[in-house]
Amino acid sequence: MDARLSQDPFAEDRPSTVPEISIVIPTFNEKENVTELVRLVTAAMTGVRWELIFVDDNSPDGTARAVRELAAADGRVRCIQRLGRRGLSSACIEGMLSSSAKYLAVMDGDLQHDETLLPMMFDALQSGDVDIAVATRYADGGGTGDWDARREQLSRASTGLAKRVLQVELSDPMSGFFAIERETFLGLAPKLSGVGFKILLDLFASADPPLRVREFPYEFRSRKAGETKVDGMVALDFITMLLQKRIGRLVPPRFVYFCLIGGSGLVVHMLTLWLTFDVGGVAFAASQAIATGVAMVGNFTLNNLITYRESKLSGLDWFRGLFLFCLACSVGAVANVGVAAYLHGEGTLWLLSGLAGVLVSTVWNYAATAFYVWRVPNSAR
Ligand code: GDD
Ligand code: MN
């Protein structure tokens, strides 16, 4: 029998539609931009078999619906819609994992990235001389368009920090526009932290040996429709990633935030106690109870905003979460007192007994709330 037939009996019937490159587009509220994006990519990528994979985090403006309409008219367009999750990096990772093309690219969905670079980036990868092609704003011929001075400064400062802490030699390590061979990406994927915006930095920080890179300067375009999602939380995402790369194997960054917030809860508690008891003249036991309540609500609110910002609870879920949080922490408090009292009874120094109690309850509170309140399956992240 013909060897080729025995391997793939349908080879003859199959048109050559398999994409050579998948372009992954993370989107959140980009409905006004996706049609134009498909048009521009189509125009830029003539002669290449491409596909566009939009990864939308259930945008309230209906981006996913708009993408599906485009996909219904053009089989090269696909939509992955994620429910109950947010995050640029994790969206890009999932999009790339869903591809079986030999090459992958990641590009923003708001038309700020110059899609006419794509064919050159694709060629560079195909030549085999580079592992990754990166579009950069900070090399000759590139620029940040109409960014204001503050944003420009912030970006340059974090670029410098990233270069120093992670020893990455890139003119624009925060770029969200790059192309990479799928096999290279798959090798790195398990090591990625997946937090925040900095997918490229994450890839470089995870690569050993270092990736061979070629940079492609371009001028960042200004946004015409929709708005940026880059806000103060991005700085936090950035710090989280540095923490993850440096100490993540020992202590999850989330645990660090949880403990810091727990510590701030003590300050809130003492302030409230002072206000109610000392200033307000409320009975001590009542004051202590009020202070405990305020600290718990404060801790829950901060953890919801910071530690679990990617699975933030709102509306009714916020109240259900608060209830479960208080319940879990009450169990933690009982364990705390139990362990401390036991150790003290066995003759351990009061200071050590007390600390052991706090440690046990902190770890319990962290694990229990990650699982029951924010429903994070892998609390190590
Ligand atoms: N799926 C998903 N989930 N997509 C998101 C999310 C999210 O949580 N947040 C943002 N996006 C999408 C946006 O819809 C857009 O297509 C792209 O990611 C970039 O987001 P912008 O909000 O437009 O970012 P920017 O233009 O301000 O930031 C640019 O510079 C950063 C570095 O300073 C981008 O190029 C970033 O990729 C880059 O890291
Ligand atoms: Mn943008």
pLDDT in tens, 133-187: 999 987 777 777 777 777 777 777 777 777 777 677 788 888 899 999 999 999 9
CA of 211 to the centre of ligand 2 (A): 26
Q: Counting ligands in written order, which one lies closest to the CA of residue 134?
A: 1
pLDDT (tens digit, 9 = 90+) per residue, 57-74? 999 999 999 999 999 999
Which protein residues are within 6 Å of ligand 1, measured from CB?
26-28, 30, 55-57, 86-88, 91, 108-110, 112, 155, 174, 176, 197, 228-230
Among 27, 61, 148, 219, the mutation site with the greatest number of ligand 1 atoms within 8 A of its Cβ is 27
Whether 175 contacts 137, CB under 8 Å: yes
Whether 179 contacts 105, CB under 8 Å: yes
What is the enclosing helix (H) or strand (E) of 56?
A: strand 50-56
Across the chain, mean pLDDT equals 89
Helices 284-302 and 253-273, packing angle to 10 deg: 150
Mean pLDDT value across residues 310-327: 93
Exposed/middle/buried for 355, CB within 10 Å: 0-12, 13-18, 19+? middle
Token output for 59 = 């945008």
Q: Which of 23-27, 200-204, 237-241 has the lowest mean pLDDT?
A: 237-241
Phi, psi angle pair for 197, to nearest 5°: -100, -15
Index of the ligand 1 atom closest to the CA of residue 63: 14
pLDDT above 90 coverage of the chain, percent? 65
Please list all protein residues whose beta carbon sits less than 5 angstroms from ligand 2, which is an ion. Answer: 110, 112
Whether 102 contacts 20, CB under 8 Å: yes
Whether 289 contacts 259, CB under 8 Å: no
Index of the ligand 1 atom closest to the CA of residue 29: 14
184/182 Cα distance (integer angstroms): 5
Q: Which of 199-208, 276-285, 292-301 has the lowest mean pLDDT?
A: 199-208
Does residue 86 surpass a pLDDT of 90?
no
pLDDT (tens digit, 9 = 90+) per residue, 359-376? 999 999 999 999 999 987
Does residue 5 surpass a pLDDT of 70?
no
Index of the ligand 1 atom closest to the CA of residue 228: 22
**pTM for the full model?**
0.75
Q: Which of 7-21, 23-37, 118-132, 184-198 has the lowest mean pLDDT?
A: 7-21
Does residue 381 surpass a pLDDT of 50?
no
Among 88, 202, 224, the mutation site with the greatest number of ligand 1 atoms within 8 A of its Cβ is 88
CA of 34 to the centre of ligand 2 (A): 13
pLDDT (tens digit, 9 = 90+) per residue, 330-341? 999 999 999 999
- Close Cβ partners of 134 (under 8 Å, ≥ 6 residues apart): 170, 172, 175, 177, 178, 200, 213, 214, 215, 216
Among protein residues, the one whose CA lies closest to atom 32 of ligand 1:
174
Does residue 379 surpass a pLDDT of 60?
no
Among protein residues, the one whose CA lies closest to atom 25 of ligand 1:
228
CA of 294 to the centre of ligand 2 (A): 39
